A and B are shown apart, each in its own frame.
Chain A
C-alpha cells in the first residue's frame, strides 16, 4: 500500500468515525479503534446504508471477514470472533497465518491467491479448532475491487456446515441400516403413497415370496391386489377400500397365486403415516409368508377335530353300551316273568289259550326290544382301533403340545420324564393321544385348588417288569380317596360340575381295546398318578 493510499484511508477512517459519533450513538464497538489495515474494507462496508451492513454482518451466523491483498484481516464479524474464541483486536491487522492451523492456512493461500486474481472462489474445508473438534466449512472468497478495477482484498464468507453434514451422515447411516434390515428380513417391507396408487418401496423378499419382480410392482401398483386369488380378492379389496383401517392400521390374511401356480398364505399388516396436517401421505406395512404356519395350524386343527370326532364316537359307544346294560336287565326280567307265568299257568292246566298266547306275544316283543338295543350297540360300537407301531414318547409329546396353552395358562410346570430306547407299541395314535390328553386335562383340573407354585404335571414313560410300555400322568392335586379309585372308571362318574364322567371310562375302554390296563394310584405325598400299559409291537412279520 502506498503512503498516499494509507493517508487517504486514515483520513477516510477519521471522517467515518466523526460521522458515526455524530449520527450513531450506539455504533458498534468494533469500529472504535480502527487499524489502518481495516480501512481497505471501509468503502465496501459503507457502500450501503450507513452502519446497517455492519450490523447485518455482525448478526449473521456465518464467518465473515475481509482480508486485504497483503493478507491481513481488515475486518471480522462477531461470529468470527466467537467461533475462533479470540477477541477482535487479536485478529484484526494480523495475518491469517497466526490464526489458522497450518494446513488451513495453506488452503487459504492457494484459494486466496485466486481470489486476489479476481476469481470468485468456493471450496469446502475441514478445520481443526483449538479444542480439537473438526468443523466443516463451506467457504466463499469474494474479490473486492477498487475504483481502478484492481483487487484490494477479498471478502471471506464461511458457513459452518458441521451439524448439517453430520445430520446428513447420520441419515445416510440410518438409511443404510434400514435397507440392510429391509433387504435381509424374510418379511416384505413396503411403502406406498397415501392413496396407494404408487409403490414407493418394496424390499427384495417380495420377489422371493410373490415370484414377481419388484420392477413389475413399481410399474403396476395394484399388482399386489391382482396376485390375490379370486376367492380372497373381494374381501381384501372391500376391506382396503372401506378405509376403516385408517385409524389403527390393517391386519389381513389372503392367499396369492404365484406365476408358477403355487399358492401362498400372506399375512399383511399396514398402517397410515400422516403428515403435519394429519393427512395420510404414506402407507407402510409388512407382509409375511405364513403358509407354513397356516399348514401347521391346519394340521393341529385337523388332529383336534379327529380327536373330538373320536371322543364323540367313543362317548356314544360307551353311552350305548351303558344304556344297553341298563335296559337289558329289566327286559331280561320281563321275559323271565312272562315265561315263568306261562309255565305256572300251564302247570295248573287251566289257562285260557288266548291269555297264554298274549303272554307269549309279550315275551316276543320284549325279545324284539332286546334285539333293537343289540343292533344299536353294535352300530355305535367303536371301530377296531387302527393300530400301527408307534413311538410312545412321540405320542405323549404330541398330546401335550395340544394342551401346552392350557398348561401355561394354569401356571403349571410340566415335567416330561421320557425313557429312552423304548420299544414301539401297537397303538391307534389318535386314541392313545386322546387318553393322554384326558389324563393330562384331569390332572390340570385336579390342581385347581393347589397353590400355583406347587402345580406340577409329570408325564413319565417307562417299561414295566412284564416288558410292557407304561405311560403315567401324575399331578399334585386333590388326590384320590381309596374307596373311589375303581368308581372313577365307571361311566357317568364325575367329581367335576361340568364333567360328564365319560373321560376315564372311555380312556379305560380304549386302553383295554389295545390290550393294556389303566389304573389310578395315590400320588407320592399328594395328588394322583394314572398309569396305563401298552403291549410292545411285535417284530415286523415280513422280516
Chain B
C-alpha cells in the first residue's frame, strides 16, 4: 500500500522546489508538477494524499483541475495557494470543496497544518471507502433469505416480527443470524449493525 503523498502543482519553479523541501522537512513524501495537465496525466486515483494547488496557472487553472477531479469522482483534498488572492475565486474554490485557500506568502506552519489535516481527511475517507467496499463484498456471500433477515435486523425489527414477516420460524431467524455474523466477519451484533449503518449511510437508500 502506498504511503500518503503531498502533490504540489505550481507553475513557479522556486515555489515548487521550496514547497517540496518544506514538505520533506516534515518527513512526508512529495511530488511536484509544473502544470495541472502534467498532474492529471500522472496521477493514479488510488494513491492517497492531498493536493497543494496554485490557483492561476497557464493552461488548465487550479480551479479547473479541481472541477475535473470532482467530475471523475476523485476526492483528493485540495489546498489552494495563490499569489493573487482574489476573493471571488477563493469563494468559488471553497464552495467546490477546497480545504483551504492560502494567500502567498503564507506561514509555512499554516500550510503544514493544513497538509496534515488534508492527509487525515483523505485517510479517513479512504478507510470509509475501504470498509464500504469490504461490506459490499461480504454482502454478496449472503443468500437472499440471509440478506432479507439482515435488512430487517438493520431496520431494528425484533426477531418475532422478522419471523412473521418472512414466514419462517423464530428459530430459523436465530440460526440465520449466527450464519450472517460469521459470513460478515463480526463478533457481535453491535459490530454488525455498525457495519450495516455505515454502509447504508454511504449507499443510496434501498427502496
A interface vs B, CB < 8 Å?
321, 324-325, 328-337, 339-341, 343-344, 347, 363, 366-367, 370, 374
- Smallest CB-CB separation from A329: which chain B residue? B12
Which B residues are in CB contact (< 8 Å) with A325? Answer: 56, 83-84
**Could you tell me the distance in whole angstroms from the C-beta of A488 to the nearest C-beta in chain B?**
14
Query: What is the minimal beta-carbon distance from B80 to any residue of chain A, in angstroms?
Result: 13
Consensus secondary structure, chain B interface: mixed
In the assembled complex, the CB of A208 is this many whole angstroms from the nearest CB of chain B, namely: 59
Closest chain B CB from A386 CB (angstroms):
19
B154 lies within 8 A of chain A by Cβ: no
Q: Is the CB of A329 within 8 A of B14?
A: yes
A367 with B83: in contact, given A332-B18, A343-B25 (CB under 8 Å)?
no
Number of A-B contacts (CB under 8 A): 74
Q: Say yes or no: A367 contacts B18, CB within 8 Å.
A: no
Partner of A336, one of B18, B26, B56, B84: B18
Contact of A335 among B17, B25, B107 (CB under 8 A): B107
Cβ distance B53 to chain A, nearest Cβ, rounded Å: 14
Q: Considering only CB atoms, which chain B residue lies closest to A371 in the complex?
A: B105
B35 to A: closest C-beta gap in Å: 15
The chain A residue sitting closest to B22, CB to CB, is A340
The 5 lowest CB-CB distance pairs between A and B, nearest first, are A336-B18, A339-B108, A343-B25, A333-B14, A328-B83
CB closest chain-B residue, reference A326: B83
Report B99-118 CB contacts with A as 1/0, cut-off 8 Å: 00001111111000000000
Cα-based distance from A332 to B10 in the complex (angstroms): 12
28 residue pairs A–B, Cβ–Cβ below 8 Å: A325-B83, A325-B84, A329-B14, A329-B104, A332-B18, A332-B104, A332-B105, A333-B12, A333-B15, A333-B17, A335-B105, A335-B106, A335-B108, A337-B18, A337-B22, A339-B22, A339-B107, A339-B109, A340-B18, A340-B25, A340-B108, A341-B21, A341-B25, A343-B25, A344-B21, A363-B108, A367-B105, A367-B107
B interface with A by C-beta (< 8 Å): 12, 14-15, 17-19, 21-22, 24-27, 56, 81, 83-85, 103-109
13 other A-B residue contacts (CB within 8 Å) besides A333-B18, A336-B18, A367-B105: A328-B105, A329-B14, A329-B104, A331-B104, A332-B81, A334-B105, A336-B108, A339-B107, A339-B109, A340-B18, A340-B108, A344-B21, A367-B107
Chain B residues contacting A370 (CB-CB under 8 Å) are 104-105
B61 CB → nearest A CB, Å: 12
CB < 8 Å: which of A332, A337, A363, A366 contacts B83?
A332
